[in-house]
Amino acid sequence: MSAIEKRQNLDITTIRKQFPILNRKVNGYPLVYLDNAATSQKPQMVIDAIVDYYTNYNANIHRGVHSLSQEATDAYEQARKKLQQHFNAAKTHEIIFTSGTTHGINLVANGFTTLLKAGDEIIVSALEHHSNIVPWQMLCERTNARLLVIPMLPDGTLDIDAYDKLLSPKTKLVFVNHISNALGVINPIQSIIQKAHEFGAAVLIDGAQSCAHIKPDVQAIDADFYVASAHKMCGPTGVGILYGKEAWLRKLPPYQGGGEMIAEVTFEKTTYADLPHKFEAGTPNICGGIAFGVAVDYLNSLGFENIEAYETKLLHYVTDKLKSISGLKIYGDIAEKTAVISFNLEGIHPYDVGSILDKLGIAVRTGHHCAQPIMDYFKIPGTVRASFSFYNTMEEVDSLVSAVIKAKQMLA
Amino acid sequence: MQIKEIQEEIVDEFSMFDDWMQRYEYMISLGKSLPLIDPAYKTDDHLIKGCQSKVWVHAEMDSDLVKFTADSDAIITKGIIAILLRVFSNQKPKDILEADMDFIDQIGLKEHLSPTRANGLVSMIKQLKLYALAFETKRKQNT
């Protein structure tokens, strides 16, 4: 029996009480928050951790001999340890704190500037978020490497046959998101990584959309780099991680210069600090890192198998319900996906649908979801995207469905 | 009619509605009845750039008045355009430039002024005023 068929045992009523924001009203209606792919809401324990840090032990880390600094350093490094365990990295120093996924991607892209030569090739997927395309275009401009794209099939999955043909000894890097942000499709990253490794290429996986739903095991999938953002995982904004295999992290030059990342500095020469500090210039988001650790503890206390099982139930329920609305088209409607549903009503602009849903207290995302190439492929201006979390309920799905029907009546 | 008078008239009309749903239904009907723009002007040159709905605007002078035509691929946006054109079309460039936009708040469409609604009211108003500014500058040069 696969994980998704296991009985879920989350107590959603109790869980919802842990998220204070879910009590609020929007435009006179109870908030139905279905924009979790953009950012998740925060449980009280994460909010408490932030308040506790600034109330009780705010200090700069890794330098002060005083007690507060020691406490803050311990808490920050303990968070790194938690993240190492969560992602199953082999070593703690393979976890680099970043400001988020985009920062992690840029750190790697910048590092490869010295490792690439003209004619080398970088492969990205057509399902990428803008932030995962631009840094590679910039890297190609700096190095004269070529950027190749794995095309998308009509069902929203990647064309793996085309990927096989793109791979060659010239391939140096492959960049794929674990889960597409616009469609929620889960990519077969394990086989993508394995095939890239046959040609000696490194692989970076963008975990921005996956980490709230599944627990990635970076060693099992054999990723060379993996990036994630705390704010999509019930943690605060402005903090994330880059996982990198030690060997790769040692090969990459530092990204930014500053305090924390140096061992010795003279005007003649600077020697860099060891991992992970080599990539962590300046005072980091200390509070954010600590709260990220708390958020991961929280998610693990619920259990990812339970989260996955419950969200799958939500996805099936919303998919069936929305499909019963005539003229509604779902994009990326395949089995291997997370609880994200991207759709349009025939002949109606997604912006109009989103405006009506907002008036009814329902938060969805409309637009191209920073994935313009996918929208161009489907020849649509955008979609309405409802993205679910474990704290959403079947009743909220019903509210969404009634609101979509209402929008259709008003706009048709 | 003066811009101020038209705005007051619109505020009066909207005051008859009890809730947002009636306001939106009215805007949608305004959007549907918006006169078509000449297809020749539905080009990228006439597009107000943004990331949500597309808006095309064309302006020309008819004696001393600016005549606007516009279109959008989203119906609520078209409704907003219809309201703006009713206020601004067939007015003197100087009057358009000097018009304040407080009535938007009074008719309960303030949320469309939010910067996250890229391509919403703010950029449309800016574009209409830019056209007026161009015409006004040209007029001053010619006198």
Residues of B in contact with A348 (CB under 8 A): 75
Mutation pick from A346, A352, A360 vs chain B, by most beta carbons of B within 10 Å, is: A352
Strand ordering across the sheet containing B47-48: B47-48, B55-62, B65-72
pLDDT tens-digit series, residues B61-107: 999 999 999 999 889 889 989 999 999 999 999 999 999 988 888 88
In this prediction, residue B45 carries a pLDDT of 86
What is the residue extent of each domain of chain B?
A: 3-142
Residue A195 is predicted with a pLDDT of 98
Q: Which CATH number fits domain A3-39+304-411: 3.40.50.300, 3.30.420.80, 1.10.10.10, 3.90.1150.10?
A: 3.90.1150.10
Question: Which of B25, B74, B111 faces A351 most closely, judged by CB atoms?
Answer: B74
Look up residue A166 and give its amino acid: L
> Which secondary structure element, helix H or strand E, spans residue A147, and what is its range?
strand A146-150
Report which of residues A91 and B114 the model is more confident about.
A91
Catalytic residue among A211, A234, A287, A370, which?
A370
What CATH number belongs to A47-301? 3.40.640.10
pLDDT tens digits, one per residue of A212-229 = 999 999 999 999 999 999
The per-residue pLDDT for A364 is 96
CATH number of B3-142: 3.90.1010.10
Q: Which of A27, A352, A381 is nearest residue B54 as measured by Cβ atoms?
A: A381
Q: Shortest CA distance to A168 belongs to which of A117, A123, A127? A: A123
| B113: confidence class by pLDDT, cuts 50, 70, 90 | low
Largest interatomic CA distance in chain B: 50
Residues from chain B that touch A381, judged by Cβ atoms under 8 A, are 53-54, 73
For the question of residue B22 being annotated catalytic, the response is no
Which residue in B28, B75, B77 has the most chain A C-beta atoms within 10 A of its own C-beta, making it the best mutation to test that interface? Answer: B75
Domain A3-39+304-411 shares a fold with domain A47-301: no
Q: Which residues pair with A173 in a beta bridge?
A: A122, A202
The pLDDT value recorded for residue B43 is 87
Sheet holding A365-367, edge to edge: A328-331, A340-345, A383-387, A365-367
For chain A, residues with pLDDT lower than 50 are 1-7
User: Nearest chain B Cα to A348, which residue?
Assistant: B74
pLDDT of residue A241: 98
Residue B82, pLDDT score:
93
Residue spans of beta strands (DSSP E) within chain B:
47-48, 55-62, 65-72
Residue-level pLDDT at B44: 86
Residue B50 pLDDT grade (very low, low, confident, very high; cuts 50, 70, 90): low
What's the pLDDT at A156? 83
pLDDT at A5: 43
pLDDT for residue B51: 46
Say whether pLDDT at B47 is over 90: no
Alpha carbon distances (Å) from A184 to A127, A187, A232, A341, A343 = 10, 9, 14, 7, 12
Gap between the Cα atoms of A50 and B72, Å rounded: 45
**Strands A340-345, A328-331: parallel, antiparallel or unpaired by DSSP?**
antiparallel
> What does the pLDDT look like over A361-378, one tens digit per residue?
999 998 776 667 777 888
The pLDDT, as a whole number, for residue A342 is: 92
Is residue B114 scored above 70 in pLDDT?
A: no
Beta bridge partners of A177: A206
CA distance A249 to A204: 12
Give the minimum alpha-carbon distance from B24 to chain A in angstroms, rounded to a whole number: 8
Distance, in Å, from the CA atom of B143 to the CA atom of B141, rounded to the nearest integer, reads 6
Contact present, A155 and A332 (Cβ < 8 Å): yes
- What is the predicted pLDDT for the residue at A3? 42
| Domain ranges (residues) in chain A | 3-39+304-411, 47-301
**Given an 8 Å threshold on Cβ–Cβ distance, is B75 in contact with A349?**
yes
Query: Which ipTM score applies to this complex?
Result: 0.85
* pLDDT given for residue A332 in this prediction: 84
Is A89 or B46 the better-scoring residue by pLDDT? A89
Residue B103 neighbours by CB under 8 Å, 6+ apart: B7, B8, B10, B11, B87
Closest residue of chain A to B30, computed from CA coordinates: A411
